[in-house]
Amino acid sequence: MTVQHTLILLKPDAVERQLVGHILSRFEQKGLRIVDLRWLRFTQELARQHYAEHIEKPFYSGLEKYIMSGPVVAAVLEGSEAIDVVRRLIGPTNGVEAPPGTIRGDFSLSNQQNLVHASDSAVSAEREINIFFPNGLK
Ligand code: CMP
């Protein structure tokens, strides 16, 4: 088992629906440690940087509008195999298909407004942590 860091974003719908505390506690209850956390608002430039792999996709303009629509919370979680563990806790992208017990399965009915983003690989985690915490972790 490898101790890993992964990046999560609690997206504007999570903040608007006052699910920030609940979602963070799901991760904490699992045993993951919050090692850094900040509030921010996405600019268009940040959206294009973070979601670079999706810029050419048909849903990108809607995704950009959504992610810039309100404040978000960015955090770094630490734990054994944290990258895969967090992806399993949040569930598949589409809330309609996400199984009960996952965060998206319990709280989302959308493939866009799906509350949480989490890094999908070690390479993404390193890239994304550097985007949101460029000065290192606390
Ligand atoms: P996230 O895990 O942050 O990664 C990319 C985001 O794009 C995804 O969550 C959704 O918010 C959004 N997304 C992915 N697929 C679609 C889709 N088919 N239609 C609309 N939004 C999508």
**Span 100-128, pLDDT tens digits:** 999 999 999 999 999 999 999 999 999 99
Q: Is residue 55 part of a domain?
A: yes
pTM score of the predicted model: 0.97
8 Å CB contact between 33 and 77: yes
Residue type, 45: E
CATH number at residue 35: 3.30.70.141
- Which pLDDT value is given to residue 34? 98
Domain that holds residue 52: 3-132
- Which pLDDT value is given to residue 132? 98
When divided into structural domains, the chain yields a total of 1
Ligand 1 site-directed mutation target among 63, 69, 87, most atoms within 8 Å of CB: 63
Residue type, 115: L
Instruction: Output phi, psi for 71, to 5 deg.
Output: -65, 155
Q: Is 63 a pocket residue for ligand 1 (Cβ < 6 Å)?
A: yes
Please compute the mean of the pLDDT values over residues 1-7 and round it to a whole number. Answer: 97
Q: Is residue 137 part of a domain?
A: no
Q: Report the percentage of the chain scoring pLDDT > 70.
A: 100
Sheet holding 3-10, edge to edge: 33-40, 72-80, 3-10, 116-118
Q: Is 117 a pocket residue for ligand 1 (Cβ < 6 Å)?
A: yes
* Residue that is written with structure tokens 């944290």 in the block: 82
Q: Is residue 56 part of a domain?
A: yes
